[in-house]
């Protein structure tokens, strides 16, 4: 397979964002990402899925890459990132090597961060996770799908023209609500759920 069905290719070209993940073959992601890049469509890659390094060919087409801390080691080809300083140093190196990429890091109970190059310097913005202590009517049920919900929510906020700070806050809320229900599909919150728990 060297090209996508024309209907799929047209859908990508006519979209503002293409959100990819690694549970489909890498070569399909590469083909789709290349089409998106040529059309000016933003490409976001959620690194969840296959436990293997990313290809350089795919990386060249990605605008935002979204790993959790374990998956980050897969992205940068380095094990043992134990401290904040380790993460900051290696993300800086990765971005300076791939200056077109922004790193959207999912940090579980520690919240989320985005790193990107701006005016020659690495900019870093973080938002804390939400706590069950502040929401005693909710409880941790199942973490399945939380990362997918987070990255999908971030893509939604990018479509709406939000800044990174607002997008991180919203995505943290969505990821938090996801873990209060069982199952990857049933646990995906609606916007109304977010507004009910956190307000508009």
Looking at the annotation, which residues are catalytic?
Answer: 148
Torsion of CA 121, 107, 181, 177, to 10 degrees: -40
Q: Which of 147, 131, 146 is nearest to 182 (CA)?
A: 146
Cβ neighbours of residue 38 closer than 8 Å, sequence gap 6 or more: none
Q: Identify the DSSP state of 110.
A: G
Instruction: Work out the number of other CB atoms within 10 angstroms of the CB of residue 170.
Output: 21
Strands (E), 54-111: 64-66, 102-106
Contact 36, 18 (CB under 8 A): yes
């Amino acid at each position: 397979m060297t090209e996508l069905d024309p209907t799929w290719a047209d859908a990508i070209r006519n979209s503002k964002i293409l959100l990819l993940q690694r549970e489909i073959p890498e070569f399909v992601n590469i083909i789709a990402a290349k089409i998106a890049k040529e059309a000016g469509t933003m490409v976001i890659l959620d690194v969840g899925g296959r436990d293997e390094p990313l290809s350089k060919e795919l990386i060249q087409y990605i605008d935002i890459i979204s790993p959790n801390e374990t998956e980050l080691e897969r992205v940068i080809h380095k094990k043992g990132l134990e401290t904040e300083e380790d993460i900051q140093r290696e993300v800086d190196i990765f971005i300076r090597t791939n200056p077109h990429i922004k790193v959207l890091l999912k940090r579980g109970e520690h919240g989320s961060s985005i790193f990107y190059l701006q005016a020659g310097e690495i900019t870093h913005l973080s938002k804390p996770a939400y706590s069950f202590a502040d929401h005693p009517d909710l409880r941790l049920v199942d973490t399945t799908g939380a990362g997918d919900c987070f990255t999908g929510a971030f893509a939604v906020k990018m479509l709406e023209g939000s800044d990174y700070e607002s997008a991180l806050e919203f995505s943290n809320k969505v990821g938090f609500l996801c873990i209060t229900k069982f199952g990857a599909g049933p646990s995906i919150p609606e916007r109304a759920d977010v507004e009910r728990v956190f307000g508009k």
